[in-house]
């Protein structure tokens, strides 16, 4: 897989870099319920950030605010120098720089694997069919699906479907990739394959924000771990600190329960 690592510069293990994604004090409410109570966060280039926390802590909502699938009520989000939350932001252009991988995969059931990946290449980047297919096939090969170009989602296992989902995000050569609990909908035996793909992406220098329940994965792969609870970032730091020396009561509580599952 690393043989075809052409798209991004960067060396494995590098953790520092220019700030790429900046979230400033975003808030989000549904009616009375405030799900994000002022979240700020900076992600550097080539950094892998894991977001952990109990269900309903607002981590998915925070992630979905980054490409404005959810509209934050206030606060600002920047990708490089572009403000994503600007009123006149060219959303479709910004979104192509932000890849997203969904919990439920959200593959297009009426399109085969190659067309799932090629759709945005053709319609957003205006690539010719041949170019888009070449890119799609290369990307699918990189996630280990060289045999499955013409398979439809229904013919693939959950793990394979999620790898198509990852290929679909990567093919656009995004600056940052968002993962919304990418393994939560998978059978346990399929989880490791998908996590291995994400691990490989880190080696290639991708910038990633991963909302996850896999604590082992967060500890091994992330450069930085965010713990959210009740719509706020309670604690953050390098994995060693978060998992070995949690400072807050809530994180200690969460880890003692969370690691059990």
Partner 1 sequence: MDQIISSYFNLSVLRQALPYLQNGLILTLWLSISIVPLAMIAGLVIAMLFDLRQKWLNALLVVYIDLFRAFPPLVLIIFIFFGLPFLGIRFSEFVSFVLAATLNGAAYFGEIFRAGIASIPRGQYEAAVASGLTPLQAMIHVVLPQAIRNVLAPLTGNIIELVKATSLASVVAMPELLRSARIAQGNTYNATPLIAAAVIYLILLWPAVRLASRLERRAIARR
Give the residue with the Cβ less far from partner 1, 102 or 254. Answer: 102
Cα–Cα distance, 66 to 98 (Å, whole number):
8
Q: Is 261 helix (H, G, I), strand (E, B) or coil?
A: coil
Does the protein bind partner 1 through residue 185 (CB under 8 A)?
no
Give the residue with the Cβ less far from partner 1, 124 or 240. Answer: 124
Does the protein bind partner 1 through residue 79 (CB under 8 A)?
no
Does the protein bind partner 1 through residue 251 (CB under 8 A)?
no
Does the protein bind partner 1 through residue 120 (CB under 8 A)?
yes
Cα–Cα distance, 141 to 90 (Å, whole number):
32
Residue 121 and residue 173 in contact, taking contact as beta carbons nearer than 8 Å? no
Cα–Cα distance, 15 to 193 (Å, whole number):
24
Q: Based on C-alpha coordinates, what's the Rg of the chain?
A: 18
A 10 A CB-CB count for 76 gives: 15
Does the protein bind partner 1 through residue 86 (CB under 8 A)?
no
Does the protein bind partner 1 through residue 220 (CB under 8 A)?
no
Q: Which stretch binds partner 1 (CB under 8 A): 1-9, 145-153, 154-162, 163-171?
A: 163-171
Does the protein bind partner 1 through residue 168 (CB under 8 A)?
yes
Structure tokens, 207: 């910038």
The residue ranges that bind partner 1 (CB under 8 A) are 67, 69, 91-93, 95-96, 98-100, 102, 104, 106-110, 119-120, 123-125, 165, 168-169, 172
């Amino acid at each position: 897989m690393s043989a075809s690592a052409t798209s991004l510069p960067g060396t494995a293990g590098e953790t520092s870099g220019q700030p790429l994604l900046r979230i400033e004090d975003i808030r989000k409410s549904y009616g009375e319920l405030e799900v994000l109570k002022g979240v700020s966060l900076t992600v550097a280039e080539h950094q892998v950030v894991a977001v952990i926390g109990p269900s309903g802590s607002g981590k998915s909502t925070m992630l979905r605010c980054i490409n404005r699938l959810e509209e934050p009520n206030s606060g600002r989000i920047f990708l490089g120098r572009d403000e994503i939350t600007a009123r006149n932001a060219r959303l479709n252009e910004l979104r192509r720089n932000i890849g997203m991988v969904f919990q439920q995969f959200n593959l297009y059931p009426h399109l085969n694997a190659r067309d799932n990946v090629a759709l945005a290449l053709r319609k957003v980047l205006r690539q010719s069919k041949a170019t888009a297919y070449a890119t799609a096939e290369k990307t699918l090969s990189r996630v280990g699906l060289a045999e499955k170009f013409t398979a439809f989602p229904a013919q693939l296992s959950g793990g394979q479907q999620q790898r198509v989902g990852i290929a679909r995000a990567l093919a656009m050569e995004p600056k940052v990739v968002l993962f919304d609990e990418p393994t939560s909908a998978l059978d346990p035996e399929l989880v490791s394959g998908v996590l291995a793909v994400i691990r490989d992406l880190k080696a290639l220098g991708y910038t990633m924000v991963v909302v996850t329940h896999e604590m082992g994965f967060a500890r091994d792969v992330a450069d930085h771990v965010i713990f959210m609870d009740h719509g706020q970032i309670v604690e953050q730091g390098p994995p060693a600190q978060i998992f070995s020396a949690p400072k807050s009561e809530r994180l200690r509580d969460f880890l003692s329960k969370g690691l059990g599952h």
